[in-house]
Amino acid sequence: MSLIPSFFGGRRSNVYDPFSLDLWDPFKDFPFSSSPELSRENSAFVSTRVDWKETPEAHVFKADLPGLKKDEVKVEIEDDRVLQISGERSIEKEDKNDQWHRVERSSGKFMRRFRLPENAKIEQVKAAMENGVLTVTIPKEEIKKPDVKSIEISG
């Protein structure tokens, strides 16, 4: 039995992944947050799950963003080859006559960042949103193998 999955909250991501820029907050579950708005924002940030797979043709990112529209999500690539997915989940309007029994859905800003490898064609990125799932596809460049020239040995 490994201590790592339970220590890191059972996340599926690789702790030693050099491309991941996820921030791990060791204090996220502690109840000493002074601002409920800050804890809501942190909660939304943490709960945005992203899968990254590499196929022979592309790098494919899938993010679960239930309840969000495509105009509420931003996909950007920074100069230093970093894919950034961000947005904001709105807080549901409260009516003074409403009596809340439980609030578990997170709201607030979220952002996930991933450093892309050298073989990613960052000028050909495509993003699509369907049924609350954002799919970002980044084609891969074919890695050129060095030309090998045989040299005839004389003598």
- CATH number for position 79: 2.60.40.790
Could you tell me the residue range of the domain that residue 67 belongs to?
57-90+107-143
Evaluate whether residue 26 is within a structural domain. Answer: no
Summarize pLDDT for 76-135 with one digit per residue, the tens: 999 889 999 999 888 777 778 888 888 777 778 889 999 999 999 999 999 999 999 999
Residue 82 inside a domain? The answer is yes
Mean pLDDT of the chain: 77
Tokens of 64: 């679960």
Q: Please give the tally of structural domains in the chain.
A: 1
At 6, which amino acid appears? Answer: S
The model's pTM is 0.62
CA–CA dist 66, 130 (Å, integer): 10
Higher pLDDT, 134 or 7: 134
Compute the distance between CA of residue 33 and CA of residue 47 in angstroms, rounded to an integer. 17
